[in-house]
A and B are shown apart, each in its own frame.
Chain A
Amino acid sequence: MTMIIVDIADMRISDNPDETLITYSLGSCLGVAVYDPALHLGGLLHCMLPLSKVDKEKAKNRPFMFVDTGMQSMLTEMYACGMRKNRAVVNVAGGSQVLDNQNIFKIGERNFTVLRKILWKNGLLMQNQDVGGNKSRTVSLNIKTGRFSIKSSGKVVHYELS
């Protein structure tokens, strides 16, 4: 099994059943995994900020930094690879935040709000989500089985395709 690391503000797609996509240390960032079981095609996005309007120039060079441009680019690429909307399985983790009673650090919550809007607009449903709190998470997507795994505080939870 080859582990393909998805860096912060990046995205990877694979249809190689020997590969697992993994992204480490999600804080307020979101890890979004999209999988088409019929094609064994999976994508994993590690996006850090909600909206690209904060830095449009940056969004051109690094679309995966932002939830809006990142999701749009990932879905476009996956549809180009043959993914069908009615087969797509979406899993999400991340969106944590530091302890903040002034609510200036709601980046994680805003990331998730924007993601839900984009999924709704695209007619996609989330199968599993583990979002919020103040823990760091590592997530992976097994391309052969579509299994989505979340590791946090030394514990691993697996989500199999239903």
Chain B
Amino acid sequence: MLQIKNLHANVDGNEILRGINLTIKPGEVHAIMGPNGSGKSTLSYVLAGKDDYEITEGEILFKGEDLLEMAPDERAAAGVFLAFQYPIEIPGVATMTFLRTAMNAQRKARGEAELNTPDFMKIVKQKASELNVSPEMLKRPLNVGFSGGEKKRNEIMQMALLEPTLCVMDETDSGLDIDALRVVSDGVNALRNSERGMLVITHYQRLLDHIVPDVVHVMSAGKIVKSGGKELALELEENGYADFVNAA
């Protein structure tokens, strides 16, 4: 469903991505690990369509379509979801209003009927309780005053509500304690199915104990320098990134 071919991207003239090749098939969970500054977050933003990045070479195909030609909201409606490393606080926008607007906008873009209030409430309440998101949080402005864990749970709740086909998670484990990590991982695992692809970006093996990947990639200096099975993550945990950084 996702094919990234020789992707090069710049920020302010600095080349961050230097030829990424990655293919994710439906049902697969891929993990990307790598040291700070290797371009992991940049890759996630490029997939979501943030316009701070200049694509100089390469292409991204999503379900056979040119993803780079699509606006961020079109990508979302097509099924791309980015769980942010640092979810943005938006004062003045109630979480509930935001969720409803997003869900209905995507439904509308796909030519589906909008959800009525009782149906919407029912779905949100159910997903919220699964992810320990309190009704009180839903009433607050989006992410404002949320703890790190609350923000991440809110991201995964959005992912559950929007039911994307490609889930990109950028360091979803950062800032989570052990219990929150379990809640979030359970939420993610519940979404695993044969149709849905996932790209999990993380620094630590810990998350991958809970969300067990099919493929692990090591990214360094804007390239994927090694790919392997889940045991690669263990190897990295043991030996660090040094071998790969030097290889790049």
The answer to whether A binds B is no
